[in-house]
Amino acid sequence: MTKIFITGTDTDIGKTLVATILLYKAQSQGLSCFGLKPIAAGCHWSTEQKPAGEWHNDDALLLQAASTCKQAYAIHNPIAFPQAIAPHIAAEINQTHLSLANLMGACKTGLEQKVDVHLIEGAGGWLVPLNDQSTLADFAQQLSHNVVLVVGMKLGCINHALLTQQLILNSGLKFSGWVANHVDTDMNEQEANFRYLEQHIQAPCLGRIPFSPKANPQDLIEYIQLPV
């Protein structure tokens, strides 16, 4: 089983896009796959789950749709908050205690899915807090998944990428690759920035995603490869 933990240099830099492309890439190679988003903040109320309804997140729905092993929504996204804010603040507002133990417990069924490619998408960046003591990086260290870093190609991305890389390397987890996602068409010297990252990130570049705000992820699988 290939196990992937997706993190990013920031929020809104395309983690979900890259995650869904990787899931569809796995499908194209005849591999079974499952996408898990442990925590989602910024959800809408859905009445599809009868009789009570539940909070749904658009990113998590994309992971569910891209999975060959589709489960009930809450298996793909066990913790969902309506507010589009940092998860630990959303948890406080909703009077929910986030801890490593209850996050692992909430994800138990999702983590047990037997597939060829098991993918987890984090929230925000590497050090997003769960509470006053723990971060999503601590959660990642509880798992055996290899880390893939999504770099949003925009001004400041070199600093963000190298800082995040250092923390990943310090964690002891396998850093199996990074993806350049072009999110800013006005960024100057994109090629020079990419070349610098390629030379200084200590993991293979798995792909470059062109600026494609409305593209179907299935149409972008040629731009990426699965980590080894």
Question: Looking at residues 57-68, what average pLDDT do you find?
Answer: 98
Question: Looking at residues 192-207, what average pLDDT do you find?
Answer: 98
In a domain, 107, yes or no: yes
In a domain, 149, yes or no: yes
In a domain, 228, yes or no: no
What pLDDT shows up at residue 30? 98
Adjacent-strand bridge partners of 3: 118
What pLDDT shows up at residue 214? 86
Whether residue 28 has pLDDT greater than 60: yes
In a domain, 60, yes or no: yes
Output the domain CATH number for residue 104. 3.40.50.300
What pLDDT shows up at residue 50? 59
107 vs 37, 100, 148, 165, 188, CA distance in Å?
A: 9, 11, 20, 26, 41
Whether residue 49 has pLDDT greater than 70: no
Q: How many domains does the chain have?
A: 1
What pLDDT shows up at residue 48? 74
85 vs 9, 43, 92, 129, 224, CA distance in Å?
A: 17, 11, 11, 11, 30
In a domain, 7, yes or no: yes
Whether residue 150 has pLDDT greater than 90: yes
Whether residue 158 has pLDDT greater than 70: yes
68 confidence band (pLDDT: 50, 70, 90)? very high
Report cis status (omega within 30 of 0) of the bond before 51: yes
In a domain, 11, yes or no: yes
Q: How far apart are CA 107 and CA 37, in angstroms?
A: 9
Q: How far apart are CA 54 and CA 44, in angstroms?
A: 8
Whether residue 223 has pLDDT greater than 90: yes
Q: How far apart are CA 35 and CA 16, in angstroms?
A: 10
CA-nearest of 7, 3, 1 to 122 is 7
Q: Which domain holds residue 19?
A: 2-223
Phi, psi angle pair for 220, to nearest 5°: -115, 10
Catalytic residues, which ones? 37
213 confidence band (pLDDT: 50, 70, 90)? confident
What pLDDT shows up at residue 51? 54
In a domain, 140, yes or no: yes
In a domain, 200, yes or no: yes
Global pTM value: 0.95
